Chains A and B, each alone.
Chain A
Amino acid sequence: MNYLYFLYIEFLAKHNIPKLFGDITFYVIPFCIIAFALLVVVLFLVLAERKLLGFFTQRKGPNRVGYWGLLQTLADAFKLLCKENITPSRVDRFLFNLAPILAFVPVFVALGVIPYSAEFTFINTQTNVILYLIMAAFPVLSIFLAGWASNNKYSLFGAMRCIAQVLSYELPITFVILSIVVLSSSMNLATITLSQMSKFGIFSWFLFPCFLGFLIMFISILAELNRCPFDLPEAESELICGYNTEYSGMRFAIFYLSEYAMMFANSIFITILFLGGYLSPFGKYFMSNSFLLYFEQAFWLFLKAGILIFIMIWIRATLPRLASFDLLKFSWAILLPLSIINLFITVLIKFGGFLCS
Chain B
Amino acid sequence: MTTTTLKLNLGPQHPSTHGVLRLLLELDGEKILSCEPDIGYLHRGMEKMAEKLSYIKYLPLVDRIDYLAGFFYSELLCRTVEKALNIELSDRVRAIRTMLLELNRISSHLLWIGAFLMDLGATSPFFYAFREREMILSYFEKLTGQRMMYNYFVFGGIRKDIEFLDDVQKIISILPEKLHDYERIITENPIFKRRCVNKGILEPEIGLNYSITGVNLRASGIDYDIRKNDYLYQGFDFAAVILQGKDSWSRYKARILEIKESIKIISQALDYLKKNEKLEQKHINPLNIRLPEGEYYQEIEAPRGLASCYIKSTGEDRPYRLKWRTGSYYSVNLLRKLLVGEYLNDAIAIAGSLDIILPEVDK
Q: Do A and B bind each other?
A: yes
Residues of A within 8 A of B (CB): 53, 56-59, 153, 157, 228-229, 231-232, 235-238, 240, 316-326
A and B contact pairs by CB, cutoff 8 A, 17 listed: A56-B124, A58-B128, A59-B127, A228-B121, A235-B345, A236-B16, A316-B123, A320-B121, A320-B195, A321-B121, A321-B195, A322-B194, A323-B194, A323-B195, A323-B346, A324-B343, A326-B191
**Residue among B121, B124, B127, B344 with max Cβ neighbours from chain A (10 Å):** B121
Choose one: A57, A316, A320; the contact of B120 (CB below 8 Å). Answer: A320
Chain B residue at smallest Cβ distance from A161: B30
Q: Contact check, B127 vs A229: say whether CB atoms are below 8 A apart.
A: no
Per the bound structure, the CA–CA distance linking A228 and B16 in Å amounts to 18
Give complex CA distance A323, B196 in Å: 10
B24 within 8 Å of A (CB atoms): no
Taken together as a complex, chains A and B put the C-alpha atoms of A228 and B128 apart, in Å, by 19
Contact of A319 among B15, B16, B118, B189 (CB under 8 A): B189
Q: Which residue of A lies closest to B118 (CB)?
A: A237
Which residues on A sit within 8 Å (CB–CB) of B117? Answer: 320
B190-208 interface with A by 8 A CB criterion: 191-192, 194-195
**Knowing that A57-B126, A157-B344, A236-B121 are A-B contacts, what are 18 other residue pairs whose CB atoms are under 8 Å apart, sorted by A's residue number?**
A53-B123, A57-B123, A153-B6, A228-B121, A237-B118, A237-B121, A238-B16, A317-B123, A317-B124, A318-B122, A318-B124, A319-B121, A319-B189, A320-B121, A321-B121, A321-B191, A321-B195, A321-B345
Are A318 and B185 in touch, CB under 8 angstroms? yes
**A237 lies within 8 A of B119 (CB):** yes
Q: Which residue of A lies closest to B121 (CB)?
A: A321
Interface hub of B127, B192, B345, B352 (most chain A Cβ within 10 A): B345
Taken residue by residue from 4 to 29, chain B's Cβ proximity to chain A (1 for < 8 Å, 0 otherwise) reads as 00101000001110000000000000
Inter-chain contacts of A316 with B (CB < 8 A): 123
Are A320 and B14 in contact, with the CB atoms below 8 A? no
Shortest distance in angstroms between A36's beta carbon and chain B's nearest beta carbon?
Answer: 32
Q: Which residue of B lies closest to A241 (CB)?
A: B15
Q: With CB as the reference atom, state the residue of chain A lying closest to B186.
A: A320
Contacts of A324 in B (CB 8 A): 30, 343, 345
Query: Please, which residues of chain B bring their CB within 8 A of the CB of A236?
Result: 15-16, 121
Q: How many residues of B contact A (CB 8 A)?
A: 30
Is B191 touching A237 in the complex (CB atoms < 8 A)?
Answer: no
Instruction: Tell me the complex Cα distance, A326–B124, Å.
Output: 22
Closest to B25 in A: A153
Chain A residues, Cβ within 8 Å of B118: 237
Do B122 and A323 touch across chains, with their CB atoms under 8 A apart? Answer: no
Residues on the B chain within 8 Å of A237, using CB: 15-16, 118-121, 348, 352
Which residues B71-128 have CB closer than 8 A to chain A? 117-124, 126-128
User: Does B282 count as interface, using CB distance less than 8 angstroms?
Assistant: no
Across-interface contacts of A326 in B (CB, < 8 A): 191, 194-195
Given contacts A53-B123, A229-B121, contact A320 B344 (CB under 8 A): no
Complex Cα spacing A235 to B349, Å: 12
State in angstroms the CA–CA spacing of A317 and B131 once bound together: 16
Check A232–B345 contact: CB distance below 8 A: yes
- Measured CA separation A300–B195 after assembly (Å): 40
Select the residue from A157, A238, A240 with max chain B CB neighbours within 10 A: A238
Is the beta-carbon distance between B191 and A320 smaller than 8 angstroms? yes
Q: Are the CB atoms of B128 and A57 closer together than 8 Å?
A: yes
Chain B positions within 8 Å of A322 at CB level: 191, 194-195
Specify the chain A residue showing the minimal Cβ separation from B348: A238
Say what secondary structure dominates the interface of chain B: helix
Q: Which residue of B lies closest to A153 (CB)?
A: B8
Smallest CB gap from B192: residue in A: A320
Interface centre among A231, A237, A318, A323 (most CB of B within 10 A): A237
Mark contacts of B320-361 with chain A using CB atoms, 8 A cut-off: 1 yes-contact digit, 0 otherwise.
000000000000000000000001111010001000000000
**Cα separation A325 to B117 with both chains bound (whole Å):** 19
Determine how close the nearest CB of chain A comes to the CB of B252; give it in whole angstroms: 12
B residues within 8 A CB of A240?
A: 14-15
Q: Please tell me if the beta carbons of B15 and A320 are within 8 angstroms of each other in the complex.
A: no
A-chain residues with CB within 8 Å of residue B344 when the two chains form the complex: 157, 238
Given A153-B6, A320-B195, A325–B121 Cβ distance below 8 Å? no
B179 to chain A, nearest CB (A): 16
In the complex, residue of chain A having the shortest beta-carbon distance to the beta carbon of B122 = A320
Q: Which residue of chain A lies nearest to B9 when distances are taken between CB atoms in the complex?
A: A153
Residues on the A chain within 8 Å of B343, using CB: 323-325
List the B side residues contacting A57 at CB < 8 Å: 123-124, 126-128
Nearest CB on A from B268, distance (A): 31
Most B CB atoms within 10 A — which of A59, A240, A320? A320
User: Are the C-beta atoms of B15 and A321 separated by less than 8 Å?
Assistant: no
Q: Which residues of A contact B346 (CB under 8 A)?
A: 323
Write out the residue numbers on chain B whose beta carbons fall within 8 Å of the beta carbon of A53: 123
Cα(A325)–Cα(B131), bound, Å: 33
In the complex, chain A residues whose CB is within 8 Å of the CB of B121: 228-229, 231, 235-237, 319-321
Q: Flag B128-143 by CB within 8 Å of A: 1 or 0 each.
A: 1001000000000000
Chain B nearest CB, measured from A150 CB (Å):
15
Q: How many Å lie between the Cα of A153 and that of B123 in the bound state?
A: 25
Q: How far is the CB of A163 from chain B (nearest CB, A)?
A: 13
Given A236-B15, A237-B119, A318-B185, also A323-B124 (CB < 8 A): no
Instruction: With CB as the reference atom, state the residue of chain B lying closest to A228.
Output: B121
Q: How far is the CB of B11 from chain A (nearest CB, A)?
A: 10
Beta-carbon nearest neighbor of A57 in chain B: B127
Whether A321 contacts B120 by the Cβ 8 Å rule is yes
In contact, B345 and A323 (Cβ under 8 angstroms): yes
Q: Could you say which residues of chain B place their CB within 8 Å of the CB of A235?
A: 121, 345
CA distance in complex: A69, B191 (Å): 34
Min C-beta distance of A50 to chain B, whole Å: 12
The complex places the Cα of A153 from the Cα of B131 at a distance, in Å, of 36
In the complex, are the beta carbons of A58 and B119 less than 8 A apart?
no
Chain A residues in 8 Å Cβ range of B126? 57
User: Contact at B14–A321, with CB atoms within 8 Å?
Assistant: no
- The smallest beta-carbon distance between B116 and chain A, in angstroms, is 10
Contact mask for chain B residues 232-269; partner A; CB cutoff 8 A; 1 contact, 0 none:
00000000000000000000000000000000000000
Question: In the assembled complex, which residues on chain B have CB atoms less than 8 Å from the CB atom of A318?
Answer: 122, 124, 185
**Chain A contacts for B123, CB-based, 8 A:** 53, 57, 316-317
A294 CB → nearest B CB, Å: 39
Residues in A with CB closer than 8 Å to B14 are 240
Partner of B131, one of A56, A58, A228, A320: A58
